Amino acid sequence: MEQFLNDPSIYTLVRGPLVWLAFIVFFVGMLYRIFTTLKMAKKEKVIYPYLSFKYTLRSIFRWLMPFGSISMRKHPWFTIITFIFHICIIVTPIFLTGHMELWNESWEISWLSLPVGLTDLMTITVIVCLFFIFLRRLIQKDIRFLTSTSDYILLVLVALPFITGFLSHHELLLQYKIMLTIHMLSGELMLIAIPFTKLSHMFMFFLTRAHTGSEFGAVRHSRDY
């Protein structure tokens, strides 16, 4: 295995075409999911006529603002953890210096990158948060009841790129190149998985909130938060 991962052609594959593939699958998959959902929603007849831009925004705003909803106020710890977690998980990979170099190398694009120390900290934060989320799933009765194996697999799927990224950066556990290959592979795997697993909630969130926000705001004259 180690031999295999050490093979330069594997590295080239993972570093090159697979990245492309992952991004294409991610974006195309996401667009496809959104498109099919919107099309299905049309069939339901009662979705579009009631959509309200104002209340969609209200709903999204409330739920993207820390403690913007009564639900978040009732679950302060979980809210803090999930907000930090979600911010870090999105910001870290996009603004990581290492990634920036790669992007610059391949596509000659770059933007602001965060200091390495900070991204390092954020990576650890993601891992720690994931651990808490995992514990919560395991310990809290009502959540454990809802949980199935796939939920744990998803946690691992999300954790892997961060753990391996951290390890490779600090050249721990395995040889740098190997760890880096695993890191890239797991990152690509996660990207590919997003549109087809529950991770799709990252964009489905906006669609369900548009519907529920409009129903509550424009039709029911009450709050959905």
DSSP result, 124-177 = HHHHHHHHHHHHHHHH-HHHHHH--HHHHHHHHHHHHHHHHHHHHHTT-SS-HH
The window from 102-110, 118-126, 141-149, 169-177 that contacts another protein (CB under 8 A) reads: 141-149
**Are 133 and 81 contacting, i.e. CB atoms less than 8 angstroms apart?**
yes
47 binds another protein (CB under 8 A): yes
For the chain, the distance separating the N- and C-terminal CA atoms, rounded to the nearest angstrom, is 50
CB of 210 to another protein, least distance (A): 9
For residues 213 and 60, the answer to whether their CB atoms sit within 8 Å is: yes
220 near another protein, rule: CB under 8 A: yes
Alpha-carbon span 96 to 196, nearest angstrom:
26
The correct pick among 28, 31, 40, 94 for binding another protein (CB under 8 A) is 40
**CB 82 → another protein: shortest distance, Å?**
8
Tally the residues of the chain: 225
Q: How far is the CB of 29 from another protein (least distance, A)?
A: 13
Contact set with another protein (CB under 8 A) = 37, 40-41, 43-47, 49-50, 59, 63, 69-71, 74-75, 78, 136-137, 140-147, 151, 198, 200-201, 204-205, 207-209, 211-213, 215-216, 219-225
